[in-house]
Amino acid sequence: MDELTDERVVPGTSLRATAVSVGTSFLGNPPGPDGSPAAAADALARALLAGPFAVIDTSNNYAEGRSETVLGTAVRRDGLPADKAIVTKVDADPESGALDRDRVWRSFEESVERLGLPYLPVLHLHDPYTIEVADALAPGGAVQGLTELRDQGLVGAVGIAAGPVSLMRAYAVSGAFDVLLTHNRYTLVDRRAEELIDLAADRGIGVFNAAPFGGGILAGSGDTYAYRTAGPDLLAWLERARELCRRWELPLHAVALRHSLRHPGIASTIVGVGRPERLDQLRELQATPIPESFWPELAALGTPPSTLED
């Protein structure tokens, strides 16, 4: 798999992805005065559809549905280019928290309506924190809904997308999923998903690794890691890492991105983008040469501290 020439089929699916995929969790935020997506969101959606990255990641509940709505508006107007795919996720009912077979179908129907696409190449079960794994796998549970959608040819493959590694592991070993999405747990400062990624490779499950910048801090923005305040240990480690990068004349975020791209078990790395210029910047970051001899020096900084416990 060539991390720059890029195209590869995600294991467990027939989806063609580039090494980098783009994430749209904030697309459509903030809303316009009438609650609909504001104009800048449309410019970003247009750029994503015309950009270099094959897979656009969204979800039923991102920006309360506006992420899908903005993408769908652009798809209806400009068409979905043949080299692009939109991957979305089913979410619990926002009011009741229900996430069973029927809710999976409704979430799917909402998504295809918003996106203007009758078929989804991958549909993930998203953050299933309101239900137990056993309930999801039981008759009438979320997995039944996903399996029906796949069996009926309405989706190409089904995935599990969530955070806690033990939860992800339980879903991955169930045999029900073709692909998984882990986030913030295989980055420069957190490696706890490593075993999960190996397990997926052994089972032919494709892996998306999301949030290689920990939500932004590893790209120089914000003071949270994985959406929680970064502790003093993490900030101190980051300062040492930045100093090392300065000596090597490397941007820390190029290193953070490559850390994910160079893992052979990761089919595609999902980076969140909030503005069109990020696309060219990411291409440049992706192409930044990083000498092999840099990595042992980075490792010598010691085990990076994470703010996560799961």
Ligand X SMILES: NC(=O)c1ccc[n+]([C@@H]2O[C@H](COP(=O)([O-])OP(=O)(O)OC[C@H]3O[C@@H](n4cnc5c(N)ncnc54)[C@H](OP(=O)(O)O)[C@@H]3O)[C@@H](O)[C@H]2O)c1
Q: Binding residues for ligand X, how many (CB under 6 A)?
A: 30
Q: Which stretch binds ligand X (CB under 6 A): 32-40, 108-116, 192-200, 273-281?
A: 273-281
Q: Which is nearer to ligand X, 16 or 185 (CB)?
A: 185
Task: List, as one string, the DSSP characters of 208-242.
Answer: EEE-TTTTTGGGT--SEETTEEPPHHHHHHHHHHH
216 binds ligand X (CB under 6 A): yes
The tokens describing 47, both together, are: 């750029």
In contact, 256 and 225? CB cutoff 8 Å: no
Between the alpha carbon of residue 184 and those of residues 79, 87, 165, 259, 288, the distances in Å are 32, 19, 11, 12, 22
Q: To the nearest whole angstrom, how small is the minimum distance from the Cβ of residue 88 to ligand X? A: 10
Find the binder of ligand X among 36, 221, 229, 288 (CB under 6 A).
Answer: 221
Closer by beta carbon to ligand X, 246 or else 275: 275
Q: Is 23 in the site for ligand X (CB under 6 A)?
A: yes
Q: How far is the CB of 139 from ligand X (least distance, A)?
A: 26
* CB closer to ligand X, 54 vs 285: 285
Binding mask 171-210 for ligand X (x = CB under 6 A): ----------x-x--------------------------x
278 makes contact with ligand X (CB under 6 A): yes
Is 49 a binder of ligand X (CB under 6 A)?
no
Whole-number Å distance between alpha carbons of 174 and 193: 17
Strand partners, 182: 209
> Residue 41 or residue 273: which is nearer to ligand X going by CB?
273
In the shown chain, the binding pattern of residues 138 to 177 toward ligand X, with x for contact by CB under 6 A and - for none, equals -----------------------xx---------------
Nearest distance in Å: CB 218, ligand X: 7
Nearest 10 degrees: Cα torsion 161, 211, 63, 106: -10
Nearest to 87 by CA among 111, 109, 63: 111
Of 14 and 221, the one with the shorter C-beta distance to ligand X is 221
- Our finding on whether 229 is near ligand X (CB under 6 A) is no
214 counts as binding ligand X under rule CB under 6 A: yes
- Beta-strand pair 224-225/228-229: antiparallel
Contact 56, 48 (CB under 8 A): yes
Q: Which of 125, 211, 234, 308 binds ligand X (CB under 6 A)?
A: 211
Q: Does 275 bind ligand X (CB under 6 A)?
A: yes
Q: Is 215 in the site for ligand X (CB under 6 A)?
A: yes
Confirm or reject binding of residue 126 to ligand X (CB under 6 A): yes
Q: How far is CA 131 from CA 4, 100, 135, 137, 138, in A?
A: 39, 9, 6, 10, 11
Residues that bind ligand X (CB under 6 A): 23-25, 57, 126-127, 161-162, 181, 183, 210-216, 219, 221, 253, 270-275, 278, 281-282, 285
